Structure 1
């Protein structure tokens, strides 16, 4: 059977509250795919947003329902006149915003407005535009440790603004102030078994948790239980909110992704396709999400509106090369922008992908190094002189986090966290003879920026950006892995908060 890399179906309108259509199950292809460059529908000229239209979105929203008088006033204007009017109104709104923030109107020149317009259009297009790494110093960040008496292994962490939320194996949901490190509230007993994942909406209005009891609980910022969903048939392993909305995506060991509308506190639809448990999920502003299917070694981008999916296959090189450590599962995924994402595997491989290629565009092998050699007492109960010790094994990547539309990616394992920089460069296209053709192509890479040693297993990472002069890297660290107790580390359960400051002039 041919490989359904693109599973195209009819288009439909945006998903509404209530149950929507179900994409059909896609079977796993049985043959290898050549590493060729593909063209994603997202990059076509038809779908690139018009600068005037996208830049004036705020003006459209602020205009609201204009009423009959305004409809008569603009009844005869052309589409070009309408774009010009909305763009002018958008610029006026920006000037008012600067004035409200304390700027003098005379200081708001064309350069400031032009830079702001470029950023807004870049975010609407879903492109990486925030190159923050050179502006921050990652040497000796301020450290803070959050914990409470009797805390068991934290399994996940999420945050909004300066507020953190953690869940742990003692079935406790905790709310923290990331600035002071104070525990503000906690809730226990709503889940019957261990809580495994958590997500917070962009505005902090909803908190969602999922666990081994197959439940998804929805909370208010005051940790009041609003709703419980029980549609999943196995462990709920991952949750993610669509950026800027109250639409929630959940992934489960039952191999399905479900979509929820929290404005109506209702179920929307189910997506099928993975052949193993869905261990991680990530989403940004568009109505789509990306998932990691653990041992089926695929990453799938789900286009909700188009009812289609893109399949990216891991497993290492397929051109005859052999890896020292074979990739057995892809356990972590994080979206950088709408076209770039990163994955982490159980063989320690950190991979950078784009929607234009079926294979990683850049790979870091053994990103967190090799684990310590086991002593004879730890790997066998037999007479050690007759058995050779096993070779050192890689530390797998337990979690990933990426700052939205920025060049900062953070990975975690049981030796701490590492900060990586996403590098995108334009290079000359060359023909078979090595002669420049005049065209440009993008070259991607991941550069190691900093490494922070943390005792214990890093089970979750979130990045808090206040938009000013500091970034907080928050890591949930425990003695055990999130999904098992076979690994024990000498560490204290809690959350490490690393505050990175902007470089001084």
Structure 2
């Protein structure tokens, strides 16, 4: 090891006209201290040389180090591009294994894998449209199971992501968990009387909204008493209660893949909640009247129906902005996202509208969607033509969409019917497919993610009031089994 030893410091010349104090004694002490410093430095440097040489003696030769690289060096040698390539190969291998399980064959269909990859890209971009409506057989009367448990009208429902359970809320202030396979109730969260809010663990007014997280960890419910309860979906345990809205909570929705909850209220605001921290995040304002419904998917966005202000809004949470769409019909009472780019809405004038987030006007509008002129249509074919039907007052009470597909559904309040619709290519028009008779107000409905079931919440009254009452209706959950054309399997 090369090094330099500094020599003794040179003596500084004493300025003329000045004398050392104490007869030169300080000068002698300084020279002794300097020599001691030099000795210490020499000994320290010699120790460093010895230690360096000892390390060199035990160090592995360079040739051996090249043959035996360490694990950290090998990890550093993998570039970012090589890592992406390795992860891509792993993902493709995983897809091949899944395709093996789906097809139950050893031959791997490369076209099927590439098709699935394209679908995933389109779904992430919000433009995926699966052609599934033509696969169903609507000519035969569908099989239905009626589940009774609520004393008053069912107002809302939600299905778990695994399609095994459904949760329903009612005007009797209760929440019921249903098993969709056995068609039985698993537990009931009973409602309480007004004035018992401090002691009763549950709702004491009409339950108007339900939402469940995509990992089935949280179930949220909102009611007319301005509060949001958060439950454990497995056992019905109350986890937390949010307070902050100044009027009835009319809509709830979880952002897909997260524990972020969006809530809409008759106080004209949208609130954002974080259920990981059980904390309030922010409030969004913009609507001029009571918000009637809300929905969201994967993006940090939410869509809302503004009721009598005749607007629909797309809330961009990150950008802190909103897009406003003016409805051509009456009060907008319900809304549902088809994918990230398109959604459907229903109004109290009986019209349903198909929207694109890129256009301010609806791509398609079906007026009087629940009039008798659609009663004779099956699989898109009309049995009667050139018939004039009178205008009927059938509000659109709920809409549903099979996510990222061309299959939609609407309910016309007191007409006791569910109508199924097909979107054309590019979501430019709506074609009627079939009509399903269900006596009562269909206040809520949802498709299972695999499209095998359509679950409807039925009541004798509308979810928000008592304008009409159908005494023949049953307050119940109706499970409709949808059959495919190919093999007739459900």
Query: Normalised by the size of structure 1, how large is the TM-score?
Result: 0.72
What is aligned with 1:408? Answer: 407
From the superposition, tell whether residues 118 and 362 of structure 1 become closer, same or farther in structure 2 (CA, over 3 Å).
same
Match of 1:276, SS?
Answer: coil
Counterpart contact for 1:201–1:245, Cα < 8 Å: yes
What is aligned with 2:465? Answer: 484
The CA deviation string for residues 110-156 of structure 1, in whole angstroms up to 9 with x for no partner, is 112212211221222122232211112123211110112x6211111
Counterpart contact for 1:162–1:464, Cα < 8 Å: no
The CA deviation string for residues 163-199 of structure 1, in whole angstroms up to 9 with x for no partner, is 1111111111001112222111101131121111111
Query: Normalised by the size of structure 2, how large is the TM-score?
Result: 0.74
From the superposition, tell whether residues 76 and 181 of structure 1 become closer, same or farther in structure 2 (CA, over 3 Å).
closer
Counterpart contact for 1:354–1:360, Cα < 8 Å: yes
What is aligned with 2:478? Answer: 496
Counterpart contact for 2:363–2:428, Cα < 8 Å: yes
What is aligned with 2:431? Answer: 447
**Higher relative contact order (CA closer than 8 Å, sequence separation 6+):** 1
State which drifts further: 336-345 or 127-136: 127-136
State which drifts further: 193-202 or 345-354: 193-202
Match of 2:445, SS?
Answer: strand
| Rounded Cα–Cα distance in structure 2 between residues aligned with 1:464 and 1:70 | 48
Counterpart contact for 1:477–1:495, Cα < 8 Å: yes
Counterpart contact for 1:284–1:404, Cα < 8 Å: no
| Rounded Cα–Cα distance in structure 2 between residues aligned with 1:202 and 1:133 | 25
What is aligned with 2:32? Answer: none
Matching residue within 321, 331, 339 for 1:329: 331
Q: Which has the larger radius of gyration?
A: 2
What is aligned with 2:172? Answer: 170
Q: CA deviation at 1:409?
A: 1.1
| Rounded Cα–Cα distance in structure 2 between residues aligned with 1:333 and 1:248 | 17
| Rounded Cα–Cα distance in structure 1 between residues aligned with 2:277 and 2:100 | 37
| Rounded Cα–Cα distance in structure 2 between residues aligned with 1:69 and 1:235 | 60
From the superposition, tell whether residues 182 and 266 of structure 1 become closer, same or farther in structure 2 (CA, over 3 Å).
same
Structure showing the higher strand proportion among its residues: 1
| Unpaired segments ≥5 residues, structure 1 | 1-67, 317-326, 372-390, 426-442
Matching residue within 239, 258, 267 for 1:254: 267
Counterpart contact for 1:300–1:312, Cα < 8 Å: yes
Please list, as runs of the form range in 1=range in 2, the aligned pairs for 1:307-386 lying within 5 A after superposition. Answer: 307-314=320-327, 316=328, 327-369=329-371
Q: CA deviation at 1:74?
A: 5.2
| Unpaired segments ≥5 residues, structure 2 | 1-69, 192-201, 374-389
Counterpart contact for 2:273–2:282, Cα < 8 Å: yes
From the superposition, tell whether residues 294 and 83 of structure 1 become closer, same or farther in structure 2 (CA, over 3 Å).
same
User: RMSD in angstroms over aligned alpha carbons?
Assistant: 2.2
Counterpart contact for 1:370–1:394, Cα < 8 Å: no
From the superposition, tell whether residues 69 and 112 of structure 1 become closer, same or farther in structure 2 (CA, over 3 Å).
farther
Match of 1:117, SS?
Answer: helix
From the superposition, tell whether residues 455 and 69 of structure 1 become closer, same or farther in structure 2 (CA, over 3 Å).
farther
What is aligned with 2:182? Answer: 180
What is aligned with 1:196? Answer: 208
| Rounded Cα–Cα distance in structure 1 between residues aligned with 2:306 and 2:72 | 52
Q: How many matched pairs?
A: 385
State which drifts further: 70-79 or 475-484: 70-79
Structure showing the higher helix proportion among its residues: 2
Q: CA deviation at 1:394?
A: 2.4
Counterpart contact for 2:368–2:391, Cα < 8 Å: no
| Rounded Cα–Cα distance in structure 2 between residues aligned with 1:359 and 1:70 | 58
Does 2:90 match 1:89? yes
What is aligned with 2:313? Answer: 300
Match of 1:359, SS?
Answer: coil
| Rounded Cα–Cα distance in structure 2 between residues aligned with 1:298 and 1:370 | 28
Match of 2:462, SS?
Answer: coil
Does 2:276 match 1:263? yes
From the superposition, tell whether residues 70 and 328 of structure 1 become closer, same or farther in structure 2 (CA, over 3 Å).
farther
Q: CA deviation at 1:452?
A: 0.8
Matching residue within 444, 448, 451 for 1:460: 444
Counterpart contact for 2:336–2:345, Cα < 8 Å: yes
State which drifts further: 282-291 or 92-101: 92-101
Please list, as runs of the form range in 1=range in 2, the aligned pairs for 1:51-130 lying within 5 A after superposition. Answer: 73=75, 77=79, 79=81, 81-99=82-100, 103-104=104-105, 106-130=106-130
What is aligned with 2:294? Answer: 281
Q: CA deviation at 1:447?
A: 0.9
Does 2:419 match 1:418? yes
Counterpart contact for 1:292–1:298, Cα < 8 Å: yes
| Rounded Cα–Cα distance in structure 2 between residues aligned with 1:244 and 1:135 | 29
The CA deviation string for residues 20-56 of structure 1, in whole angstroms up to 9 with x for no partner, is xxxxxxxxxxxxxxxxxxxxxxxxxxxxxxxxxxxxx
Counterpart contact for 1:128–1:407, Cα < 8 Å: no
